[in-house]
Structure 1
Amino acid sequence: MTGKKMNWHKVADTPQMLNWQDNRMCITEAGGKTLTLAQFQDQIYAFAHKCPHASGIMADGFIDATGQVVCPLHRYRFNMQNGRNTSGEGYYLKTYPVEQREDGLYIGFEEKGLFGF
């Protein structure tokens, strides 16, 4: 079985060029999608712009002490690495791989075949 094919989209020349908020998150666009970026322990994570529960803007939330992103509306928590809901409600936050390259910061989207398969 082969690995997933990815389409990579550059979002900035350096992470410092992004408009980071005090909560260490920002909103960006890549591949026609609006995404949230978050910084935690020298790592950058990319995930959905809105919470899958009630569409809270994830960048308006916060990152807790354990590195979970917390939705501002109902305080649902998500693992930024895999999107798993860690507060027990059963939702899943879409996450995207991030690569810091010599020429910039990139977000990856899984390449889809014909009809999305």
Structure 2
Amino acid sequence: MADSPSDKIDARIDELGDWRGDTLALIRTLIKKAVPDVTEEWKWRGVPTWYHDGMICTGETYKDKVKVTFAKGASLDDPAGLFNSSLGGNTRRAIDIADGDNLDQDAFMALIRAAVALNAQ
């Protein structure tokens, strides 16, 4: 049985076994590349969550998308226009990634680093 949050995230990726698992694995790899000392958590009955001086983002999987929600996304500059969901609120912003979507990896890592910098303020 998976015990640590990282083990649970590994298990979720394996369990999905499709493009959603591949996408979640990519998101995770990019987050760790952008912030090597990031902390992984397993929240709310099964949501991978990444922290560094506070919450950075979550990685939720749905039937038709992987949703990466940035806790303080409304306060981040998004020059590449990655945010495409949860745009109405004044705190969170999200990126919905559907099967076949190409994520701008450099822009995503820049958002991750910006979120970490915001948390450190």
TM range (shorter): 0.3 to 0.5
Q: Which has the higher strand share?
A: 1
Q: Which has the higher helix share?
A: 2
Report the TM-score, using the length of structure 2 for normalisation.
Answer: 0.34
Q: Which has the higher contact order (CA 8 A, sep 6+)?
A: 1
Of structures 1 and 2, the larger Rg is shown by: 1
